Structure 1
Amino acid sequence: MPSILIVDDESIFRKGIRMMITEMEGDWFVIDEAKDGADALEKIEELQPDLIITDIKMPRMDGIQLQYIVKERYPHMSCVVMSGYNDFQYARESLRLGAKDYLMKPFEREELYTLLGKLEEEWKVENKPSKSSRMDQQVQNQMRQHVLTGLLTGHVHHEEAELLENVGIHFPHPFISCLIAKLDRDSVSDERYYQLNPSLFSVYMQQFIQESLNESFNGYVFIHHETEVIALINHKGFETIYTEIELLTNRIRKDIRVQSNFTLTFGLGSPVKDLESISKSYKEAGLALLYRLVIGGDRLLSNEIVVGMQMEKHDGQAADWHALNQFVQEGDFVNVQQQASQYVMKLCQQWKDPEMIHQQICKMLLHFYELAVNLAVVKQWLQNTDVKQVLMDIYSYSSSKELTERCQKLLGDLTIAISNRQKKFVASPIEIVVRYVEEHYAEAITLNMMAEIVYLSPSYLSSLFKSKQGQSFIDFLTEKRIEKAKSLLLYSDEKIQVISDSTGFTNIRHFNRVFKTSTNRTPSEYREGKTGNKEIPFGVN
C-alpha cells in the first residue's frame, strides 16, 4: 500500500488531511505527520514514504527547501505541495522541482481525492526500483563523489577518461571553472543554525545550485568537507565566462535570500583546459573565498578580484610592500622584521579608520598565505593554526604594537619556513626556468608564470635571469623557439603554419616577423636555402 507523510506547521490542518485520507476509498494510508521540513526529513529517512504532502511556508525549513533535499536524497519519492493564494509563486517553484501537483488552500475533499486517485494509478503502474538497483545507484553515486573529489586534488588525469565515463561524468566543452559556495554564517541565527542540522544548508545549496546551473551550463555540483559546495562548470568560451557566471551567482544569491532567508558567498577560480588543472582552479576559488573576511560576503569573489586587491597599492606603501615581499621570498629574516614594522606603522599613521587598517593587513597576509600554499609550507608556517583564525585574530588587536608584533611573528615564521624549503633545492631558480623553457617552449610562457614557479617576484627574476644568462628572459625564450623552428624547417616537411603553432608563436604573421628579425630570412627562404641535410650559410648563393 502506498504511504503518505503529511507536513504542515498547523496541527489542526494535519489532522484534517489525515481524516480525509482515512475516509477515502483507495489504498493510500498516512504513515505519519511532521510539523516542518526539518522534522519531516528525520521521518522520511526512517519511514521512506511514497508521497509527501507538504505546506510551503513553515518555520525552520519550508516546503521548497524540503523539496530540494528530497529530490537530492530520495529522487523516487513524490511530492504534492499546499499553498495559499498569495504563495502561488512558491507553488510554481515546487512544480519546477518536480512536484506532482499543488493544492490551493483551502481545498475541498473531492479535489484531494481526485489528485490522490490519479497518483495511486501512477504508483501502481510504475516499476518501482528494486532494492539491488537502488544499492547499485548508491554505489555509483559514492564513486562519482570520490572521482569528483579526486579532480579537486589533481589525482584524476586525462588518461583516466574511462573512469569518468563509468561514473557518468562528461566534460564535452574545452574549459572547466571551479566555483565554491559557502553559507554566510552571520546570515543565520544561532537558534536556526543549531536547531536545523547545519549540513542540511549544504544539501539545500547543492540542489539549488545544480538546478540553476542546468539552465545555462553543463556541470556537476557536490558537497565537499560538509560546509563547502563545489560546482565544476564546463563551458565553451573563455572571454565572457566571468560575466556569465556572475549573472548566474547573482540570480542564485537573490533567489536563496528571498526564498530561504540566508546568504552565501561564491569563490571562482580561473578557467582551465585539462583535468589535471582543475585543482589549480579549485585552489584559486578557495583563496578568493578567504577575502570574504576582508570585504564581506554575499557576493562573487574571483581570482581576478583577488589579484586586483593584491596589486592595489597606496601612496607611501608601495615601496614597503615591494621590499617586504622580496625579503620574505629571499629568506632575509632581519629585513622582514624591519619592513613588517614599518609597514604596520605607516598603515596606522595613514589610515584613521581601524577597520581599514585591519583590512589592509589581512590583504597582505592573504597574499603570503597564497605564497605558502604554492610552496607547500602552510603547515610549517602556521603549525596547527588555521589561516581563517589568523585573520579573525587580526581584528581583535586594537593597538599598533600588538599588530606590529603579530605581523613580525607571522612573516618571520614564513620567512624561516621558505628558507628551510629552499635549502632542499639542488637546482637554482634560473636552472629551473631554463629547463622549463626547453621542455615547454611550444606553450604560452610568461615571465610572471616563471616567477610563480620559482617563487620570486617577476622584477627580481628578470634582473637575476639577465645577470646569470647574459640576455633577457624574453630573448632567451624567443631564441629557443627560433632554434626549434629552424630545425623543423630544415628537417621536416611540416607546413610553416604548423611549425609556427608547434613552436609557441601566437600567429603566422608574428612568427614570420620574429624569424626574419632573427635570421635575416623568411621561413620560406630559410627552408629553400638547404642542400641535402645541410644548412647553407648566410651570404652563400
Structure 2
Amino acid sequence: MNKIMIVDDMPIFLEYLRGCIDWNAYGFEICCEAHDGREALQKMEEYLPDVVLTDITMPYLNGLELSEKIIKDYPDTAVVLITGNNEFEYARKAVKIGVCDYIVKPFEKEELILSLLKLQDNIGKAVENSLRDDYVLTDELKALIYAGISDSEHSNEIEEKIFGWGSGAGYLLGLVKFDGDINNNSSREELMNWERLIAKMLEDKLDIDGEVKIFNDFENNIIILMRFNRASDISNFKGYEFTDIIDVVKNQLGFDITIVLSRADELKGVKKAYERALGTVMVKGHGKLIDLREESEPPVFTSLDAIFRLNKDIENLLSDDVENVINTMWQHIREAHPKEDGHTITDMNIISSALSVLMTNIINSGFSIEKIYGDGFSPEHFFSGSIGSDEMKDKVIYLFKKRIEFEKDKKKSKSRDVALSAKEYIEQNYINSELSVADISEVLCVNQTYLRKMFKSEMNMTLSEYITQVRMQEAKRLITATDEKLSLIAEKVGYSDVSYFSNVFKKYYGNSPRSMSKE
C-alpha cells in the first residue's frame, strides 16, 4: 500500500479526507495525520509516507514551507497541496518548490484520487496491491452482449444468475471508451490500468434504485449495465456521474473519454443496446456523453459474433480460423457497403475493433507488444500507406497470426518462473539506484502489470517491498561487518541520498544505522 500523511489544522477537514474515499480500494492507506507543519515534520521520520497531502494555511509552519523541507530531506516523498486559495502566486510558488500537484477546494473526490495515482508509479502499485483481477460473472455478462438471449426461459435464467431473484423495469447500458494513445506497449498497458481505476470510480459513484454491473468487453471498453426498479427512473436518469468523470479524467489525465447510454426494455434487448452504443462511439465525437435513449436505429457496425470468435481463436491459438473469420467478416461488410477504391469509415471500424481485441489480449496475457512486432511498433504507422481494403485486411490477418505464432514458439513460463527470474534480477542489480519495475519487465519480456501480479502471488510481497528487503539486508551486513562510511554503504545498496537511506533503514529495522554499526 502507498502510505499517505494528511496535514490540516481543521479537524473537520481531516475527518472528511479520512472518510470520503475508500483508500484501500485504490492502493492507499492513511498512515498518520498532523495538525500543522511542525507536527508533520516530526512524524516524517517515524512514518516515511509515500505521499504528503497538506493544506497551505497552517500555524507554526505553513504548507509551502513544509513542502520545501520535505522535498529537500525526503526526495522520494511526493507532496500534493490542497487549498481554498486559487491565487496564481500560490500555484507559482508550489511549482517552483517542486510540489507534484495543487488542488483547489472544493474538489471532486475523483479529482483527488486521480491526482494521487498519477504520482510516480502509483497507478501500477494500485493495480498490484488492491484491485481485483476481474469482475464477477464476467463470462455471463460478455455472453449477454455478444451472443444475446434466445428465448424468455433463457432470459429468466440469465437474469437470476446476474442480478439475483426478481426482475427490473428496464435496463440502461453505458459504454465508456478511452481515446488515449495506444501506439506502444507501455502506453496501452497504462491506459488499461487507468480504465480499471475509472471502472472502480464509477462503481463507487453510481447510486440508483436498482442494480449495477460493471465489466469490460473484448475491446476493453468499460460496460456499465444498470437494472432499474422503476421504468420512469430510466428516463429521468440524468447521467451527471458520467459527465463528472469525463471532466475529471480530461483535467487530470489529459484523456478524452466518450460515454454512450443506450436503453433496453428487457434483458434480451441488451445485446442490441450494446450494438447501438458500440456503433455510435465509432462514428460520433470524442470526449462527451452521448444519449441514445430516444433514438431507434443503430449505426452499422461489424459482426459481434466475429469479434467474439476472434478472441476465442487467439486464446486457442487457431491461426487458420482467425484468417477465415477476418475474411468472412470483411466480405460481409463489403457486400453490405459496396464502394469505390479507397478507405471508408467502415474499414476503420473493422480495423479499430479487431486491433482493440488483439492488443487487449496481448496485454492481458502478459506479453509485450514490441517483443512480438518489433521495437517502435505503431498500428497507425503499420497501416499507413495501405492501398485498398484487401491490403488492410491482409495486414490485420498478419498481426493476429504473428501474435499466435509468438505464443506457440515461446517457451511458456509459469508464474513461479517469472517471479524467480525477477527475484534473481533484483539480487544482481539492487545497487542501481534507478532500478525500476519497468527495467525488470523489459528484461523478462513481460508487461509490468503481469509481472507485479505474478511476483506478489508467488512471493507474498510486492516487487518494491522485495527490492527494499534486499537492500536493507545487505546494508545491515555491511554496517555490522565493515568499517565503511555510511555514505559509501548507502551508495552500495542503491541509495544516492544517505539521509533518505538512514530513514528507510530505521523504518525497516527500528534502529538507526549508526546504532547497529560495528564497534
TM-score range, shorter chain: 0.3 to 0.5
Normalising by structure 2, what TM-score? 0.35
| Larger Rg computed on CA atoms | 1
Normalising by structure 1, what TM-score? 0.34
User: Of the two structures, which has the highest relative contact order with CA contacts closer than 8 Å and spacing of 6 or more?
Assistant: 2
